[in-house]
Structure 1
Amino acid sequence: MHAVESIISKIATTEALASMGALLLDAGKISVSDAERIVIFQKQNGMRFGEAAKALGLINDDDIQKVLSQQFDFPCLMANEDSFSRELVAAYQPFSAQVEALRAVRGQLMLRWFINVHKTLALVSPSRGEGRSCMAANLAIIFSQLGERTLLIDADLRQPRQHGLFKLLGAYGLSDILAGRTDLTAVTRIPAFRDLSVLPAGTVPPNPAELISRGLKNCLQQLQSQFDVILIDTPSAEQGIDAQIITSNCGGALLVARQHKTRLNDLQLLKEALQDTGSQCFGVVLTDF
C-alpha cells in the first residue's frame, strides 16, 4: 500500500513540475527539493504551484511572470531589463489593470475595425502631452502579443518619440523613405516581440506636411501586404495639418484625450476636421496618467 502511495505521489509531483515547476527548475530558480516542498505546501493549502512557491519565499512576481510568458508563448520583459522605455507598460507589466484596459481597446478595434478591409489606423490627439505616442506604442505591443503582424509607424515628423520609446539607434525612417533616401528596409523588427516592427520617423525634415502629402499613400500600400495591423503615431492637431493628411490616407483615426487636460470642444473640432477629409473616427481613448 505504501509503495502504491509513493508511486502516486511521484506521479503527482511529476505532473506539477511538468509546466511551471519544470521551467523554474530549468531557470535555476528552485531545486528539486524546493519543488517537493512546494508540491506538499500546494496540496495542504489548495494553492497553485506558483502561488505556493511565492508564499514559501522561493520566487517572486517577476519569476512567475517570466514563466507564464514562456508557458503561454506570451512575450514580455522582466522588471530588471532596460531594453525599452518604462512607459511601455505592455512590455513590462502585461498583467496589470492598465494593460487589461488596453486589451479591451484592442478587442474593440479587432471586432469593429481590423476585422474588415481596414489595416491601418492613425492615433490622433488635439494637443501635445495627451499620451498619444505612448498609447500607440503600447497598443502595437499588445496587438503583436495576439500574433498579429504589427507595424508601428512614427509619422510625427515634427517631434517624434517612438525611436526613444523603443531605443532604436538607426538613422533612417519614414521621412527618409518619403524623400527617396532609403527604402522599406528602414522598418525595424523588434526581436523581443516576434510579430512587432517599428518604422521610426527618421530625419526630422523642414517640410513634414509636404513630404507626407506626396508619398505616404504609396508607402502604406506597399506595407499593407506585409502586415495585418498598422498603427500610425501622428503629430498633435495643434502642430499643423499633418494629422489630417495622415488620417485621410489610412481611412480612420482613434482619438486620444487626457483626463483633466483635453478640452471637449477641442476634441469635437478635431473630430469634425478629420471627418471633413472623409475619414472615420473610430472612438476616443481617455488617458489618466
Structure 2
Amino acid sequence: MSEWKNPEHASVRVGRLGELFLQKGLLTVQQIEQIAQEQKLKKLRFGDAALSLGLLSQAEIDSALGEQFGYSSKELLNGVADPGLRFLHAPFSKEAEEIRRLRSELLLRFSTQDKISIALISPGSDEGKSYMAISLAIALSQVGRKTLLIDADLRTGNLHDYLALGTQDGLSSVLAGRIPYQQALIPLMPDLHILPSGPRPPNPLEILRVPRMSQLLESCAGQFDTFVVDTYAATRASDAQLVAHQLGYALLVAKQDVTLINDIRHTQNTMQAAGVEIIGTIFNESSAASHSKGWRNRLTSLPGLSFLKTYLGQN
C-alpha cells in the first residue's frame, strides 16, 4: 500500500492495482477513493467496483491484472503483436491458461536438463503450429527462461508477420554464412528474442542440413537456455525432419477437421525414423466443431500418440 497526498485529500491509501492505474494515467486519486468507497459499500473487488462506476473497461482491468501477476505486457521491444495473439492480448482467456499449462508440463518434462530445445511440427499448413510456437516461446520467457524463437520454415515462414517486423535477414542468412547470428537476432521482450526465417533460399534442404542447426544452437548456448523452433509442413518436404533431428525433441500439432489421420501416422513414423522423440501432441480444436468428439477419439486412440494437452481456440 502507498500514500498519495494532494491538497484535497490529505492522505489517500492506494493499493498496488490502484498505483498501476495511476501510473498509466487511467485513474485519478479522487477516482480511486471513489472506487474504494464503492468497494466498502458493496463488498466488491477493486476491478468490479471500477466497472460498476464506469471508470474502467474490462480490457483495462485485465491488462493491469496481467502486469500485476507477472504476465508480459502486449507491448514489444520491437514490432507490434498481432491482435490474434491472445496469449498476450487476453492473458486470462482459456487459451492463455492452456498454454501456461503446456509450459508447466514442458518444464517438468525437462526439469533435469539445463537446456530446452524443441521443434514444433505439423503434417500440413494452417494447423496452428506457428501460432503455438510464438505463444509457447512467450510463455517460457515469462518464467525467466532465456528463450530464442527460431523460424526454421525457410519456404513459407511468417513469424515476422505476427509481430509486424518486416522482411529482413534471419536464419537463412546465418546458416548460409552471410552474417553472424548476433546480427539477425531481434529482441522482443527482456527474456525473448526471435531469429526470423530470413530471405527465401533456393535450396532450403541444403541450408538446413546436419549439423548446421545444432551448431547454431551450440553457438547460442551461452545466451539462451530455451529454443523453440517453428518448421515447414512435415508431409511436404524433409525440412521438419532435418530440423527436429538436430534438436532431438518435437511437439506435434494437429487440427480438428483439418489434419488427416494418415498424415499424423506418416509424420510420427518419419520423426521416429530420424531419432526424434515426440513428447506430446497438441490438439488444436477449430471453432466450428461438427464432428469433434468422434474425430478426437480416433486421434487419441492412435498408438504412440500421447496428448500433452488440449489447445482450444486460435488456429
Query: May I ask how many residue pairs the two structures share in their alignment?
Result: 273
Does the alignment pair 1:205 with 2:213? no
Q: Which residue identity is paired with 2:113? A: N
Shift of 1:238: 2.0
Q: Which runs of 5+ in 2 are unaligned?
A: 1-9, 287-315
RMSD over aligned Cα atoms: 2.0
Aligned to 1:140: 137
Does the alignment pair 1:218 with 2:215? yes
Aligned to 2:94: 97
Aligned to 1:165: 162
> Which of 17, 21, 33 is equivalent to 1:24?
21
Does the alignment pair 1:34 with 2:23? no
Aligned to 2:310: none
> Which of 185, 196, 203 is equivalent to 2:192?
196
**Which deviations, in whole Å up to 9, do the C-alpha atoms of 1:53-79 show, x marking residues without a partner?**
11111001222133223433432227x
Does the alignment pair 1:286 with 2:283? yes
Judged with a 3 Å threshold, the aligned counterparts in structure 2 of structure 1 residues 64 and 115 are, in CA distance, closer, same or farther, namely: farther
Shift of 1:170: 5.3
* Mapped partners of 1:266, 1:113: distance in 2: 28
Q: Does the 8 A contact of 2:235 with 2:263 survive in 1?
A: no
Q: Does the 8 A contact of 1:114 with 1:229 survive in 2?
A: no
Identity score, percent: 36
Which runs of structure 1 show a deviation greater than 4 angstroms over 4 or more consecutive aligned residues?
A: none
Q: Which stretch of structure 1 is more off in the superposition, 65-74 or 197-206?
A: 65-74
Aligned to 1:4: none
* Mapped partners of 1:209, 1:247: distance in 2: 13
Aligned to 2:249: 252
Q: Which stretch of structure 1 is more off in the superposition, 194-203 or 165-174?
A: 165-174
* Mapped partners of 2:52, 2:112: distance in 1: 43
Aligned to 2:64: 67
Q: Does the 8 A contact of 1:76 with 1:94 survive in 2?
A: no
From the two aligned structures, give the one with the greater strand fraction: 2
Q: Does the 8 A contact of 1:119 with 1:224 survive in 2?
A: no
Aligned to 2:172: 175
**Which deviations, in whole Å up to 9, do the C-alpha atoms of 1:81-133 show, x marking residues without a partner?**
x8122232111111111111111111111111364254210000001111111
Q: Which residue identity is paired with 2:177? A: G
Aligned to 2:259: 262
Q: Which stretch of structure 1 is more off in the superposition, 215-224 or 63-72?
A: 63-72
Q: Which stretch of structure 1 is more off in the superposition, 93-102 or 214-223?
A: 214-223
Shift of 1:264: 2.0
Shift of 1:252: 0.7
* Mapped partners of 1:21, 1:33: distance in 2: 11
Shift of 1:168: 1.4
* Mapped partners of 2:22, 2:114: distance in 1: 46
Aligned-partner SS, 2:41: helix
Aligned-partner SS, 1:239: coil
* Mapped partners of 2:68, 2:265: distance in 1: 45
The TM-score normalised by the length of structure 2 is: 0.82
The TM-score normalised by the length of structure 1 is: 0.89
* Mapped partners of 2:255, 2:29: distance in 1: 50
Q: Does the 8 A contact of 1:252 with 1:280 survive in 2?
A: yes
* Mapped partners of 2:121, 2:237: distance in 1: 12
Q: Which residue identity is paired with 2:80? A: S
Aligned to 2:123: 126
Q: Does the 8 A contact of 2:175 with 2:208 survive in 1?
A: yes
**Which deviations, in whole Å up to 9, do the C-alpha atoms of 1:140-170 show, x marking residues without a partner?**
1111112211110000001011111111135
Q: Which residue identity is paired with 1:203? A: P
Aligned to 1:3: none
* Mapped partners of 1:127, 1:25: distance in 2: 48
Aligned-partner SS, 2:131: helix
